[in-house]
Amino acid sequence: MNGTALISTAVQVLVVVAGAPLLVGLMRQVRARLEGRAGAGIGQPWRDLRKLLRRAPATPTGTGWAFRLAPLLLVGTSLVLAAVVPLLTTASPLDRAADLFAIVGLLALGTVTLALAALDTGTAFGGMGASREMTILALVEPTILVAVFALSARVGSTNLAEIVTTTQHDPLRVASPASLLAAAALLIVVVAETGRLPVDNPATHLELTMIHEAMILEYAGTDLALVELAASMRLTILLGLLTSLFLPWGIAGASLAALPLALAAFVAKVAVLGLALGAVEVFIAKLRLFRVPELLAGSFVLALLAVASSFFLV
């Protein structure tokens, strides 16, 4: 196993773990400032995590292994994803696992365990949140697969590192219709998968509007800290995936020397994307639940059209 690759991957995972709550804090701060409030500062999510870690976890009576296992599995899959997705470097030792299908499978595994844990609590909120999340997941999975497949059709391989490297060498490809359509589809899907507006409001606790919050309602203490960390890591990884696929400049290859530049580029790109997302969230309203399938069907059509154009257009 290549030493430099191991170091680069370790740095990548550390950056994701450390930076994920900061990204969430940045988005909340942007929203606060635009709404005319002072905001709690970018470091607030880390302070919340520190507070939660000091508390004892509470397990409701009647829950089984699913409830206890979910936080660990969530953090575990997020860590593997952070190591596998080409964020800072394309030369990860888990390179052979950096396949499109594996990554989508890991994402889905995390979501499904959380839904199972919500069902395990036996409460009405848990069941409701789980069923809503599954509806969204059923529509989001095919779209991610098809959209990234559109990008992989030109490259000839579904390995994400190869796609990123090929795009680095041929920048004009990003402006092709297949790529643009896939970008649009993936943006909608990332918003849906991470539970941001307009699909789900991350700051709500109203019964009518909760999806993700409903599933984690029964968690407390260290369990809640793990779940929140995992959620912010998934957001960071998905935003990073978006920037790697469509704006791959700065990502290091196998050398360590290019790593600081890659780090700076990654932080800058994800921060800008997070800022933009946070700002847009101030101006849009949440979609009614039965309109969400329409939005996701539209993103699926965009992904399908991306595949079609990647095969048929020049």
Partner 1 sequence: MTDISYPLYLDLAAGLFLLTAVGVLWRHQLSAMIRLFALQGAALAAIVAILGIHQHSLELVLVALGLGVLRAGVLPYLARRALGDSPAEARETRPVVNVAASLLAAAALSLLAYAATRPLVALAPSPATGILPAAVAVVLIGFFTLVARRRALSQVVGFLLLDNGITATAFLAAAGVPLIVELGVSFDLLLVVLVLQVLTTRLRTAFGSSDLDELRELHD
Q: How far is the CA of 71 from the CAs of 68, 89, 199, in angstroms?
A: 7, 27, 23
Closest contact distance (angstroms) between CB of 174 and partner 1 is: 11
Residue closer to partner 1 (CB basis): 247 or 258: 247
Q: Which range binds partner 1 by CB under 8 A, 58-66, 75-83, 240-248, 294-302?
A: 294-302
Closest contact distance (angstroms) between CB of 168 and partner 1 is: 19
Asked if the peptide bond before residue 202 counts as cis, ω within 30 degrees of 0, the response is no
Closest contact distance (angstroms) between CB of 181 and partner 1 is: 7
Write the DSSP symbol of residue 89. B
Round to whole Å and give the CA distance between 30 and 38. 10
Instruction: Give the per-residue contact string, 174-213, with partner 1 (x = CB under 8 A; - = no).
Output: -xxx--xx--------------------------------
SS3 70: helix
Tokens 């993103």, located at residue: 299
Residue closer to partner 1 (CB basis): 160 or 185: 185
Residue closer to partner 1 (CB basis): 122 or 298: 298
* Rg, Å, the chain Cα set: 19
Interface size with partner 1, residues (CB under 8 A): 20
Q: Which of 29, 77, 236, 309 binds partner 1 (CB under 8 A)?
A: 309
Q: Which range binds partner 1 by CB under 8 A, 110-118, 149-157, 241-249, 295-303?
A: 295-303
Closest contact distance (angstroms) between CB of 92 and partner 1 is: 32
For 72, residues 6+ apart whose C-beta sits below 8 A from its C-beta are: 226
Binding positions for partner 1, 151-180, rule CB under 8 A:
172, 175-177, 180
Determine how many CB atoms are found less than 10 A away from the CB of residue 75.
18
Tokens 């921060």, located at residue: 271
Instruction: Give the per-residue contact string, 89-108, with partner 1 (x = CB under 8 A; - = no).
Output: --------------------
Nearest to 24 by CA among 285, 282, 277, 280: 277
Binding positions for partner 1, 254-293, rule CB under 8 A:
293
Tokens 């949140």, located at residue: 129
Round to whole Å and give the CA distance between 195 and 190. 8
Q: Contact residues for partner 1 (CB under 8 A)?
A: 172, 175-177, 180-181, 293-294, 297-298, 300-302, 304-305, 308-309, 312-314
